[in-house]
Structure 1
Amino acid sequence: FGGRLGLADEREDTKATHQPWQRAAGDVAAADDQYPFHRSIISRTMSHRISLQPGNHSFEADDDQTVLEAALAAGLLLPHGCRDGACGACKGRVLEGEVEHGEHSPGALSEAERAEGLALFCCAKPLGDVMVQARSVTRAGDIQVKKLPCRVQKLERLAEDVMRIELKLPSSENFAFRAGQYIDILLADGQRRSFSIANAPHDARHLELHVRRIDGGRFTGHVFETMMEKEILRFEGPLGSFFLREDSARPIVLVAGGTGFAPIKGIVEHAIRLGLQRPITLYWGARRRDGLYLDALARAWEEVLPGLRYVPVLSDEAWAGRGGLVHQAVLEDFADLSAHEVYVCGAPAMVDAARASFHSERGLPEDAFFADAFTFAQPSAR
């Protein structure tokens, strides 16, 4: 270039500058340059040993580092989604030692679960050496998290408050991601905004984001008011463990709320590319009809992918289709989810309601529920 698998809405920015592990590493490096003999002292006073099951993994975590951040820095991928305590995807058990739980949604981790030794690894920080257990642990493998520049290739308003951004990546870079993941847009002052990737991985030279305008939102205000084609942005990704599990044979239920449709779109387009034969039921919930901003596309998928059924749901507008809350439509249609795999993306309240009801009322196994919840960034001062 010359001169983020997001989420779909501008999330609350809980990463004020860099990731804590990056900040800590930079501090140690600076101290080492000026006072080499302090390096071992700094390392001793800042790190804790984390033992991770399954797999008998072991790695260090700094004082200001969460379990998830330390695992990712060690090249280990744990289940996770929002990274701000909203979705519950990273929930695991503390087997030995203690953690500081940090701020999180009560729906993602209840007091009873905390008392049982459960924690959200995206916001839990070790208070000493700990042993923890995640639902699954995999190596990062061939998909690397990168920081890259990109160019705004196209801006398209899909609804009054939804903009599609098409980003073009450098031709010299190989960027890979899984269907449903997200990226972080890196702002000039070090803050981040997270957006889901709305296209499938086979077209990784371009990234599609769906951005909802938030009143007072700093980045979304720029997108809708001043962003121009050919503008250069920087991003980090891919991020998150919300992605299609291709090695499963379970029927799939996809649940999107608002612009939570973005990663679901990437998953469906990837399924089409693969010629996936698994039954898929897609529910897309919005308040009004204009909230289903790509309704025609979703309806067209039923013709392209055998076994896919699309169910739009409106909560605040009378129409001929389904009404009410989107997760309730799933409950009405499925008496038993014990053999299914469910992917949910949207506001934390919807994700919490879906998780609780699908598990307790429809028998969905905990390891078959994948979620990505978004919150809004704090409005900028005017």
Structure 2
Amino acid sequence: MQVTIPHYYPGFHCIADHCSDTCCAGWAIMIDDASMKKYRAQTDLLGRKLLNGIDWKKGCFKQSHGRCAFLNEMNLCDMYTDGGPSMLCKTCREYPRHTEEYEGVRELSLSMSCEEAARLILGLKEPVRFLTKEDDREETYPEFDFFLYSKLMDVREEIFSLLQNRNREISLRAAMILGLGHDLQKRIRDGKLYQTEELIVRYRQAGCEEFFRMKSREYTAPHGERYIRMNNWFSLFDKLEVLSQEWPAYIGELKILLFEQGPDQYGKKREEFYEYIETVPERKREWSQWLEQLLVYFVYTYFCGAVYDEHPYVKVKMAVICTILIEELALAIYIRHPGCLSFDDFTRLVHRFSREIEHSDVNLNTLENSFRTEEVYGLKEILRVL
């Protein structure tokens, strides 16, 4: 068995009641079978609390006003307090640690839906490194396409290399990984996956960078067109399952700040925002690092999942479009508080976005389906708003 982690993974520590949010509210916490069996066997005072605090049919903890039944007024877990860490279910024990499973491989990550994890990841100054160890365990997955998986791994390695090349502006890096995802998808569709190595070599050549630099200049949309496109993209949020009761109002407020005054004001505010970012070298460097860490995070988490559906291009779109949407929301926060976008502001934004999107398979599937089927998320259309 091969286990991979990002180098920052061991550095995460839950800050419990010192957190400004709680992971015990706003979503249904499902209970694994082993924990359900253990909870049924409890006959003491905690057992009576469990009897009343669990939805035994659905296999999850009950909620009160969107909060887990065991979350007390100090934002601490009564189950942990009364029974110790061994009483926690698998979800509560592991969160925000996340595992992607492949044949003979486990990839561990931290979810940015946890504010402290988001702070750790976005606060990295250095490029992410991935650490791998192996043991003697073996397993076989029926019908697992190991040839496709190996090619996805090769391409993902190249995507990381492209994203972490800090000699290029971040928009160019995003454009290049979109192109690579697009070209890989074509080879899968045409039954030419054997050409993957040749494709990777092409993206390492100097002429490839210049090609995408030229295309980026050619496709960049003026503010008026970008205003229309982004307004359209924001309709995505209306299609999604709502997990937090505050989310629709939050998105609605930011959408008003962005679009209510029309394309001219939108363009003016956008210019002001990027002047704020780019006139201070340290701020510009920090902004680029935030976006790099976001893109690497999304690619690491989702890209190789294409071994199960053969849609790697959609996974790259997911990374790039989600990052663009977060950029746009950051602009709205800047408009709300002119002259300032702090690290804490950005971290809270990413945390809320991730929580609403990544905690719902329905939402992830809705996004992937939109990115796969709707023309407004085509390659040229995305390049126009990078």
TM-score bracket relative to the smaller structure:
under 0.3
Q: Greater helix percent: which structure? A: 2
Q: Greater strand percent: which structure? A: 1
What is the TM-score normalised by the length of structure 2?
Answer: 0.24
Greater Cα radius of gyration, structure 1 or 2: 2
What is the TM-score normalised by the length of structure 1?
Answer: 0.24
